[in-house]
């Protein structure tokens, strides 16, 4: 019961955070809808009228029946990818595979056969986690490398503090991301004859993995087959870009996961403290009966409060603390141990709170 | 120097893991390319010829010049979204906003104005992390809820083990995901007149956020404006689907992050042990000179090995352990403390290894 009373308020706090995130997202969506409506609606109407007038002209000029024009429409829409070049020979298929597993999914060319669609789903099912883990892993390595370099630079210039904060690393990775974005923008605007706005828009939509597919590289003059060097550059741009962004995401996502894991840690602290009190009681009663059962029962309790969090300290989760009581029914040992635990625990609680404050400050 | 010797092999191990992930991903991409080539290439050639023949027929039938047909082509391609209905009035803009922040990005309709494109980028920049954190947060809550329910069920049926493993929760969330996928498939194949294959393909491509946009819901008969109920259902399907998948991802990604964080923890263990030896040395020398400096230098060393990992135990990161040595140059205290630490450390190392084994076993 004690445990429940301590953990409930924290559960509430985490639910409140989640609820406020939901409210924020919905508000953000409504604001976005309003702004996009304001920005695009008028242009949409004008463009639509323009296109319809032009269509009418063509229909009249060539005296095409509505039925036939619909046939032409369908034909044009279906043949769009094939007009751009061969899409499914090896280099094109490799481009498509990368677009699937990286979640970009332009959709400039998609499988048309049933087996193609089925394989695409199976391929994505295994490929997406693999790709995600790969990018996260490389991103994490990149962060470690950046940290190492930064630390050595700080040492070289004899800084007082040689330790490197997550913020420093995040700053570097975000700078790298914008460098890649800029390079891509300039190169694609040159190679694809896009305006700078369209080019930066393409790079941004690609590297965020939104991948609208309104602008797609290598979709003219059969480039996929004729210019392997360019194909290599585009694949490299996507891979390097996504790696650097993953490095930033690795820090950002971990930072946000930390908020929950901090709560989990506090839950454990409280649960552990509650458990310690319980153990003390056992310590007094142990002469009568080594009340180990109640102590053994504690462990799962922490486990299911932290089950979704890999960040929480394994120590309280480990049955060791329990084992010690089991293996040593010696009261002196229990008392001395529980006292040692008490010091260490309060010391830890302090250090945890300090660390938490420091973390909050560094935000 | 000692420290470097202990941490290097682990660094190597983590690099080897990352390298093998890169090799796996590239192999996977090459295999994918080969299979897609085999599955789609032939169909592509046939379809292309078919479409070209049909195009030729139409051109001859209506005696359209190549130049004019190109004009018709461009007109048809541009007017595709407008033929489907009004795209940028509120409900359409809301649909688009969700597709941007959720990274689905069908691209069935994209901003055409410069301000639209610029706002889209800015909107995504803030919206993607917000949406990501929201889904992660709700997913994490869902996991906690599932854990709570499972535990109570196990208690109801008087299971010997009432603790709920990540695998149990993962199983439930994955089952929920497939339930949503199936429901979506049946409903969309009914509402959009798609074949079951196309419908499951659409749901899969949407909920994985690949979002090709070859199949897009609400792209006929101006549904976005005429059927608000259907619009609500589609938005709900996307939101609920992505939440449940995020819950599964929350577990999967954390599991994979755990692999690195386990290494980080081991690094810390070794670093801490190395530090402990260093401290002992100081303990002996301390009568001559309180060799605190070398001890003070240790702390940052651990910090930058764990700087990208929020999962590692804050305890070694906190300067407390350092502080104690600083504040107490009393050799007896140092010795007694270091002994206490030694017991606790080795005990922790055991518990950590046990926990690690248990974790590996549960995979």
Domains of chain B, start order: 85-271 (1.10.287.70), 279-362 (no CATH)
Work out the minimum CA distance from A191 to partner chain B, whole angstroms: 21
∠ CA A219-A224-A225 to the nearest 5 degrees?
A: 135
Segment B270-307, tens digit of pLDDT: 777 777 766 544 444 433 333 333 333 333 333 333 32
pLDDT above 60 for B217: yes
pLDDT above 80 for A170: yes
Taking an 8 Å cut-off on Cβ atoms, the answer to whether B25 and A130 are in contact is yes
Q: B280: closest CA among B331, B319, B316, B344?
A: B331
pLDDT above 80 for A106: yes
pLDDT above 80 for A288: no
Contact A136, A257 (CB under 8 A): no
Q: Which of A75, A198, A357 to mutate to test the interface with B (most CBs of B within 10 A)?
A: A75
Cα–Cα dist B133/B243, whole Å: 11
Using a CB-CB distance cutoff of 8 angstroms, which residues of chain B are in contact with residue A250?
A: 308
Give me the pLDDT at residue B161, please.
84
Taking an 8 Å cut-off on Cβ atoms, the answer to whether B61 and A51 are in contact is no
Taking an 8 Å cut-off on Cβ atoms, the answer to whether B36 and A116 are in contact is yes
- 3-state DSSP helix/strand/coil % of chain A, to nearest 5: 80, 0, 20
Cα–Cα dist A104/A232, whole Å: 17
Measured N-to-C along each axis, helices A166-191 and A114-156 cross at an angle, to the nearest 10 degrees, of 130
- The beta strands (E) that lie in A166-233 are given as none
Average pLDDT of A227-252?
Answer: 91
Give me the pLDDT at residue B97, please.
97
Using a CB-CB distance cutoff of 8 angstroms, which residues of chain A are in contact with residue B299?
A: 163
Give me the pLDDT at residue A251, please.
81
pLDDT above 70 for B24: yes
ipTM of the shown complex: 0.75
Phi first, then psi, for residue B103 (nearest 5°) are: 70, 10
Give me the pLDDT at residue B309, please.
30
Tokens of B144: 């906690």
Average pLDDT of B146-157?
Answer: 92
More confident residue, A11 or A238: A238
Taking an 8 Å cut-off on Cβ atoms, the answer to whether B347 and A320 are in contact is yes
Give me the pLDDT at residue A284, please.
42
More confident residue, A307 or B61: B61
**Searching chain B, which residue's CA lies closest to the CA of residue A151?**
B304
Give me the pLDDT at residue B253, please.
66
pLDDT above 90 for B258: no
Taking an 8 Å cut-off on Cβ atoms, the answer to whether B124 and A29 are in contact is no
pLDDT above 90 for B313: no
The 10 Å Cβ neighbour count of residue B248 is 22
Contact B237, B184 (CB under 8 A): yes
Helix (H) and strand (E) counts in chain B: 12, 0
Work out the minimum CA distance from B73 to partner chain A, whole angstroms: 6
Weakest mean pLDDT among A175-184, A287-296, B63-72: A287-296
């Amino acid at each position: 019961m004690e445990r429940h009373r301590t953990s409930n308020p924290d559960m509430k706090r985490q639910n409140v955070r989640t609820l406020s995130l939901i409210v924020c997202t919905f508000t953000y969506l409504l604001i976005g809808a309003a702004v996009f409506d304001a920005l695009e609606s008028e242009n949409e109407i004008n463009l639509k009228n323009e296109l319809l007038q032009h269509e009418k002209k063509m229909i009249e000029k060539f005296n095409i029946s509505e039925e036939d024009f619909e046939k032409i429409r369908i034909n044009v829409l279906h043949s769009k990818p094939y007009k751009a070049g061969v899409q499914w020979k090896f280099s094109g298929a490799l481009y498509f595979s990368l677009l699937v597993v990286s979640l970009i999914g332009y959709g400039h060319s998609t499988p048309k056969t049933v087996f193609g669609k089925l394989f695409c789903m199976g391929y994505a099912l295994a490929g997406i986690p693999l790709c995600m883990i790969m990018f996260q892993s490389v991103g994490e390595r990149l962060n470690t490398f950046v940290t190492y370099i930064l630390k050595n630079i700080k040492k070289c210039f004899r800084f007082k503090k040689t330790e490197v904060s997550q913020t420093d690393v995040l700053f570097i990775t975000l700078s790298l991301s914008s460098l890649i974005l800029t390079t891509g923008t300039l190169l694609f605007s040159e190679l694809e004859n896009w305006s700078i706005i369209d080019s930066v828009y393409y790079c941004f939509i690609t590297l965020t993995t939104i991948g609208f597919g309104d602008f797609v590289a290598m979709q003219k003059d059969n480039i996929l087959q004729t210019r392997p060097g360019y194909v290599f550059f585009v694949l490299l741009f996507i891979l390097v870009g996504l790696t650097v962004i993953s490095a930033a995401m690795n820090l950002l996502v971990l930072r946000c996961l930390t908020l929950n894991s901090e709560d989990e840690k506090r839950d454990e602290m409280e649960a552990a403290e509650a458990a310690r009190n319980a153990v003390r009681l056992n310590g007094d009663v142990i002469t009568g009966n080594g009340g180990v059962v109640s102590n053994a029962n504690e462990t799962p309790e922490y486990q299911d409060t932290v089950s979704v969090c890999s960040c929480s300290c394994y120590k309280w989760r480990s049955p060791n603390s329990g084992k010690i009581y089991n293996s040593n029914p010696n009261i002196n040992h229990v008392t001395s141990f529980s006292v040692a635990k008490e010091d260490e625990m309060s010391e830890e609680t302090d250090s945890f709170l300090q660390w938490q404050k420091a973390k909050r400050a560094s935000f």
